[in-house]
């Protein structure tokens, strides 16, 4: 039997002095193999640790061809090295992971639901259960006994057993990694659960601190159940509280009325948008009427705060009212501008050619067909020049 690595012997070890036994490169990334390690390689749903080796950052740890490879962000050190573990991240993983053992055990004992997968995400953790549906009241029925087991401070221990011993022990699941040979590692929550696992765990259910179920999601062949445990739960609650405080201030309601308050504000915004659209229609009609009534064959207008849609609406109306007119409209200011060029039915002009020339003068681009040409421009500083060009057209 090979001696297990330090992360397995003592998952609370944060520093280790050891030797580099191999250095290599995989897909352009340097890695080292150590005589012993406190850095857990990805496995069993628990993500790989982060840390440092000889002052060089470790950004991933994986087991490849029987070796634990530590992937580095810098040149690999050699000889005797000090290994450091990103402890805050690891302890969070141990809380979520041990929480999963507890959640899985209680879900199985209370409801007969089997856990088929475990994921530990950046925000939430989840397990997949082989049940088609979980009712909200069942979540409450599940959460309470979990809290009781946390309060019971049940010891969490790990040990290796021989295949013979394994065969006679009441182990919850018997699945082993493909090609597994020799000793089997068991993790036990005293008096509650015994299962195979190669991960890292806290020492007692009390160190999980608390576990909160956060809802479910249907999936093919089962249900995904989200949860958070430990320090993550406190951080999540803190973030929610802070966000709520900010929202309370913005909306001016209590927590309880927040959703209704936001909903009412959104209704107000919708009403306001409807009014704006109606006013724009009215304004557009009035502006188009004034432009159409003027004496000049070429009419023009500019609105700093309007958009292309506004220009199009007015242009369309002007040439409808005055089919003998050509209309050149612009909107915007600074480096965000738009223009529309349109000609009535009685005007003889190659509008697309004229539109392209205007776009060129204004340093923009556009397109059109028939009697309308529109474009976006980078600057309106040469607007007068464009107008001059259009006035000179026959």
Where on the chain is the footprint of Zn ion (CB under 5 A)?
A: 187, 197, 199
Give min distance, CB of 199 to Zn ion, in A. Answer: 4
Give min distance, CB of 195 to Zn ion, in A. Answer: 7
Cα separation, 189 vs 195, whole angstroms: 9
> Reduced to 3 states, what is the DSSP secondary structure of residue 108?
helix
Toward Zn ion, which CB reaches closer, 197 or 326? 197
Toward Zn ion, which CB reaches closer, 196 or 216? 196
Give min distance, CB of 196 to Zn ion, in A. Answer: 9
Residue with tokens 């997968």: 117
Q: Are strands 80-85 and 67-72 parallel, antiparallel or unpaired?
A: unpaired
Give min distance, CB of 197 to Zn ion, in A. Answer: 3
Cα separation, 276 vs 58, whole angstroms: 56
What does the DSSP 8-state code read for residue 30? E
Toward Zn ion, which CB reaches closer, 42 or 281? 42
Cα separation, 14 vs 33, whole angstroms: 18
In the structure encoding, which two tokens stand for residue 28, read together? 């352009």
Q: Which residue is nearest to Zn ion (CB)?
A: 197
Toward Zn ion, which CB reaches closer, 206 or 247? 206
Toward Zn ion, which CB reaches closer, 199 or 301? 199
The torsion angle over the Cα atoms of residues 36, 37, 42 and 47, rounded to 10 degrees, is 170
Nearest 5°: the CA angle 311, 317, 319 is 100
Give min distance, CB of 17 to Zn ion, in A. Answer: 27
Give min distance, CB of 277 to Zn ion, in A. Answer: 59
Give min distance, CB of 188 to Zn ion, in A. Answer: 10
Is the CA virtual torsion 244, 247, 251, 252 positive or negative?
positive
Cα separation, 325 vs 322, whole angstroms: 6
Toward Zn ion, which CB reaches closer, 102 or 359? 102
Give min distance, CB of 216 to Zn ion, in A. Answer: 22
Residue with tokens 């409807």: 274
Number of residues assigned to the chain:
394
Residue with tokens 């989840």: 126
Question: If you count DSSP H runs as helices and E runs as strands, how many of each does the chain have, helices first?
Answer: 9, 18
Q: Are strands 184-189 and 156-161 parallel, antiparallel or unpaired?
A: antiparallel
Toward Zn ion, which CB reaches closer, 197 or 288? 197
Toward Zn ion, which CB reaches closer, 138 or 157? 157
Give min distance, CB of 162 to Zn ion, in A. Answer: 20
Cα separation, 309 vs 303, whole angstroms: 12
Toward Zn ion, which CB reaches closer, 20 or 102? 102
Give Cβ neighbours of residue 54 (< 8 Å, ≥ 6 apart): 20, 77, 81, 82
Give Cβ neighbours of residue 246 (< 8 Å, ≥ 6 apart): none
Cα separation, 355 vs 377, whole angstroms: 12
Give min distance, CB of 228 to Zn ion, in A. Answer: 17
Toward Zn ion, which CB reaches closer, 45 or 54? 45
Computed on alpha carbons and rounded to an integer, the radius of gyration of the chain in Å comes to 35
Give min distance, CB of 193 to Zn ion, in A. Answer: 10
Strand partners, 71: 31, 60
Toward Zn ion, which CB reaches closer, 166 or 303? 166
């Amino acid at each position: 039997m090979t001696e297990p690595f330090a992360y397995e012997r003592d998952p609370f070890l944060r520093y280790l002095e050891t030797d580099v036994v191999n250095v290599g490169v995989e897909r352009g990334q340097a890695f080292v193999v150590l005589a012993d390690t406190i850095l857990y390689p990805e496995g069993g749903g628990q993500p790989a640790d982060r840390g440092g080796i000889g002052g060089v950052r470790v950004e991933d740890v994986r087991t490849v061809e029987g070796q634990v490879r530590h992937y580095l962000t810098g040149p690999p050190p050699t000889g005797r090295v000090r290994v450091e573990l990103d402890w805050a991240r690891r302890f969070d993983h141990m809380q979520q992971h041990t929480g999963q053992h507890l959640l899985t055990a209680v879900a199985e004992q209370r409801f007969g639901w089997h856990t088929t997968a475990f994921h530990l995400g950046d925000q939430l953790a989840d397990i997949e259960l082989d049940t088609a549906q979980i009712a909200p009241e069942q979540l409450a029925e599940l959460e309470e006994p979990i809290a009781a087991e946390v309060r019971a401070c049940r010891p969490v221990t790990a040990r290796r057993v021989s295949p013979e011993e394994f065969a006679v022990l009441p182990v919850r699941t018997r699945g082993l990694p493909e090609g597994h040979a020799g000793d089997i590692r068991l993790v036990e929550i005293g008096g509650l659960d015994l299962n195979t696992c190669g991960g890292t765990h806290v020492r007692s259910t009390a160190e999980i601190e608390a576990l909160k179920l956060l809802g479910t999601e249907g999936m093919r062949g089962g249900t995904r159940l989200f949860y958070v445990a430990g320090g993550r739960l406190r951080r999540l609650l803190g973030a929610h509280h802070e966000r709520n405080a900010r929202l309370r201030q913005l909306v001016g309601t209590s927590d309880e009325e927040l959703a209704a308050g936001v909903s009412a504000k959104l209704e107000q915004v919708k009403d306001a948008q409807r009014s704006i659209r109606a006013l724009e229609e009215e304004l557009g009609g009035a502006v188009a009427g004034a432009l159409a009534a003027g004496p000049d064959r070429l009419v023009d207008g500019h609105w700093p705060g309007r958009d292309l849609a506004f220009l199009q609406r007015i242009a369309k109306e002007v040439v409808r009212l005055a089919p003998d007119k050509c209309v050149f409209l612009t909107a915007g200011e600074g480096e965000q501008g738009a223009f529309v060029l349109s000609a009535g039915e009685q005007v003889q002009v190659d509008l697309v050619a004229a539109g392209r020339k205007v776009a060129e003068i204004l340093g923009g681009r556009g397109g059109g067909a028939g009697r309308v040409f529109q474009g976006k421009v980078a600057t309106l500083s040469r607007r007068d020049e464009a107008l001059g060009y259009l006035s000179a057209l026959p």
